[in-house]
Chain A
Amino acid sequence: MSAYHVMAAHFPIAIWMTTFLFIVLRSFSLPGRGDKLQYAISLLLFIGVLAGLATYSLGWMVWSWEALTYSPLARNHILMASWSLAYWTLLWVLHWRLGEHLWHGMQRWTMLMLSMVGISLLSVTGTLGGSLTGNPSGLPDILASLGWDTNSTFYLPPVMIGVTIASGGVILAMAWLGQRSKA
Chain B
Amino acid sequence: MRRILLSSSYLLFGLVLVLAWFSHGTGVIKNDPARNIYIPEDLTMPLQVMSAYNENTIFFRYRWPDPEPNIYHDMLVYTEGKWVRHGASVAGPRVDGIYEDRVTMLVDDGSVPEFGRYGGYLLIGDGMRFFTDQAGKEAVQSHPYLGEKKGKTDVRKYLPETRSDAADWRSVVSEDELARQRASGYFLDLWHWRAHRSNPIDMSDDQYIAEYRYGDKGKGVYHTNWDKTLKQPMWMYDEQQAGGKALSWDDLLAHKLSFDDVYYMSDVLTKPFDAKHAWKNGDTLPRRVLRKGDGSHGDISVSGKARWKDGYWDVTLQRKMDTGNPLDDKIFKDKAVYSVAIGVHRDATGSRWHYVSHPISVGLERKAMLQATRIESGQPDWRGQSWLDMTLFYPGQVNWPLLNSHKHAGAEKIAMGVPVRTRHSEAQLAQYGVEMEFNDEIVKQWWLTLFAGIFLIFSLGVAIHMLLNKEARS
Residues of chain A whose beta carbon lies under 8 Å from any beta carbon of chain B: 63-64, 66-75, 78-79, 82-83, 86-87, 90, 93-94, 97-98, 101-102, 107, 110, 113, 117, 134, 146-149, 151-161, 163-165, 167-172, 174-179, 181, 183
Tell me whether A160 and B19 are in contact (CB under 8 A): yes
Report which of A68, A170, A179 forms a contact with B467, defined as CB distance below 8 A: A179
User: Nearest Cβ in chain B — how far from A76, in angstroms?
Assistant: 9
The interface residues of chain B lying within 8 Å CB-to-CB of A87 are 457
Report which of A73, A83, A171 forms a contact with B453, defined as CB distance below 8 A: A83
Q: Which residue of A lies closest to B436 (CB)?
A: A70
User: Nearest Cβ in chain A — how far from B416, in angstroms?
Assistant: 13
Stretch from B122-130, B133-141, B268-276, B427-435 forming part of the interface with A: B427-435
Please report the C-alpha to C-alpha distance between residue A164 and residue B453 in the assembled complex, in whole angstroms: 7
Please report the C-alpha to C-alpha distance between residue A161 and residue B91 in the assembled complex, in whole angstroms: 31
Tell me whether A168 and B458 are in contact (CB under 8 A): yes
Looking at A93, A160, A165, A177, the one whose CB has the most chain B CB atoms below 10 A away is A160
Cβ-based interface call for B2 (8 A): yes
User: Nearest Cβ in chain B — how far from A30, in angstroms?
Assistant: 21
Q: Which residue of B lies closest to A154 (CB)?
A: B24
Tell me whether A171 and B9 are in contact (CB under 8 A): yes
Residue interface bits B335-362, CB-to-A below 8 A is 1, else 0? 0000000000000000000000000000
Please report the C-alpha to C-alpha distance between residue A174 and residue B101 in the assembled complex, in whole angstroms: 61
- A-contacting residues, B1-42, CB 8 Å: 1-2, 5-6, 8-10, 12-13, 15-17, 19-28
User: Nearest Cβ in chain A — how far from B64, in angstroms?
Assistant: 23
Tell me whether A164 and B16 are in contact (CB under 8 A): yes
Tell me whether A83 and B406 are in contact (CB under 8 A): no
Tell me whether B465 and A97 are in contact (CB under 8 A): yes
Chain A at the B interface: SS class: helix
Please report the C-alpha to C-alpha distance between residue A179 and residue B2 in the assembled complex, in whole angstroms: 8
Task: Using A75-B446, A151-B431 as known contacts, say yes or no to A171 and B460 having CB atoms under 8 A apart.
Answer: yes
Please report the C-alpha to C-alpha distance between residue A98 and residue B13 in the assembled complex, in whole angstroms: 20
The interface residues of chain B lying within 8 Å CB-to-CB of A117 are 17
How many chain B residues touch A (Cβ–Cβ < 8 Å)?
64
Report which of B6, B13, B20, B24 forms a contact with A178, defined as CB distance below 8 A: B6
The interface residues of chain B lying within 8 Å CB-to-CB of A82 are 450, 453-454
- A-contacting residues, B420-454, CB 8 Å: 422-423, 427-428, 431-432, 434-435, 439, 442-443, 445-446, 448-450, 452-454
Please report the C-alpha to C-alpha distance between residue A164 and residue B23 in the assembled complex, in whole angstroms: 12
Q: Which residue of A lies closest to B443 (CB)?
A: A69
Tell me whether A86 and B467 are in contact (CB under 8 A): no
Report which of A64, A79, A98 forms a contact with B472, defined as CB distance below 8 A: A98
Please report the C-alpha to C-alpha distance between residue A107 and residue B3 in the assembled complex, in whole angstroms: 10
Residues of chain B whose beta carbon lies under 8 Å from any beta carbon of chain A: 1-2, 5-6, 8-10, 12-13, 15-17, 19-28, 406-409, 411, 422-423, 427-428, 431-432, 434-435, 439, 442-443, 445-446, 448-450, 452-472
Tell me whether A98 and B468 are in contact (CB under 8 A): yes
Tell me whether B432 and A151 are in contact (CB under 8 A): yes
Tell me whether A157 and B28 are in contact (CB under 8 A): yes
Q: Which residue of A lies closest to B405 (CB)?
A: A66
Tell me whether B431 and A149 are in contact (CB under 8 A): yes
Interface pairs (29), CB distance under 8 Å: A72-B435, A75-B443, A75-B446, A86-B453, A90-B460, A94-B465, A97-B465, A98-B464, A98-B468, A98-B472, A101-B469, A102-B468, A117-B17, A153-B25, A154-B25, A154-B446, A155-B445, A155-B446, A155-B448, A157-B28, A161-B448, A164-B449, A164-B452, A168-B455, A171-B456, A171-B460, A171-B462, A175-B5, A179-B467
Please report the C-alpha to C-alpha distance between residue A75 and residue B409 in the assembled complex, in whole angstroms: 12
Please report the C-alpha to C-alpha distance between residue A169 and residue B452 in the assembled complex, in whole angstroms: 11
User: Nearest Cβ in chain A — how far from B447, in angstroms?
Assistant: 9
The interface residues of chain A lying within 8 Å CB-to-CB of B422 are 134
Tell me whether B431 and A74 are in contact (CB under 8 A): no
Tell me whether A83 and B454 are in contact (CB under 8 A): yes
Tell me whether A86 and B458 are in contact (CB under 8 A): yes
User: Nearest Cβ in chain A — how far from B308, in angstroms?
Assistant: 31
Tell me whether B449 and A152 are in contact (CB under 8 A): no
Q: Which residue of B lies closest to A180 (CB)?
A: B470
Q: Which residue of A lies closest to B402 (CB)?
A: A70
Task: Using A160-B19, A164-B455, A178-B466 as known contacts, say yes or no to A171 and B24 having CB atoms under 8 A apart.
Answer: no
User: Nearest Cβ in chain A — how far from B228, in angstroms?
Assistant: 45
The interface residues of chain B lying within 8 Å CB-to-CB of A169 are 459
Report which of B23, B408, B435, B459 forms a contact with A168, defined as CB distance below 8 A: B459
Tell me whether A147 and B22 are in contact (CB under 8 A): yes
User: Nearest Cβ in chain A — how far from B309, in angstroms?
Assistant: 33
Please report the C-alpha to C-alpha distance between residue A151 and residue B25 in the assembled complex, in whole angstroms: 11
Please report the C-alpha to C-alpha distance between residue A117 and residue B17 in the assembled complex, in whole angstroms: 10
The interface residues of chain B lying within 8 Å CB-to-CB of A98 are 464-465, 468-469, 472
Tell me whether B466 and A175 are in contact (CB under 8 A): yes
Please report the C-alpha to C-alpha distance between residue A44 and residue B245 in the assembled complex, in whole angstroms: 86
Please report the C-alpha to C-alpha distance between residue A169 and residue B459 in the assembled complex, in whole angstroms: 7
Report which of A86, A110, A154, A179 forms a contact with B457, defined as CB distance below 8 A: A86
**Nearest 10 CB-CB pairs, A to B?**
A157-B27, A168-B459, A175-B463, A90-B461, A183-B1, A151-B431, A67-B409, A164-B452, A155-B445, A178-B5
Please report the C-alpha to C-alpha distance between residue A87 and residue B457 in the assembled complex, in whole angstroms: 6
Report which of B12, B449, B454 forms a contact with A167, defined as CB distance below 8 A: B12
Q: Which residue of B lies closest to A83 (CB)?
A: B453
The interface residues of chain B lying within 8 Å CB-to-CB of A73 are 428
The interface residues of chain A lying within 8 Å CB-to-CB of B17 are 117
Tell me whether B458 and A152 are in contact (CB under 8 A): no
User: Nearest Cβ in chain B — how far from A57, in angstroms?
Assistant: 16
Tell me whether A152 and B409 are in contact (CB under 8 A): no
Tell me whether B449 and A154 are in contact (CB under 8 A): yes
* 8 other A-B residue contacts (CB within 8 Å) besides A148-B25, A167-B456, A176-B466: A69-B443, A72-B442, A79-B446, A79-B450, A94-B464, A154-B449, A167-B459, A172-B462
Report which of B23, B452, B465 forms a contact with A165, defined as CB distance below 8 A: B452
Task: Using A86-B458, A154-B449, A160-B19 as known contacts, say yes or no to A181 and B1 having CB atoms under 8 A apart.
Answer: yes
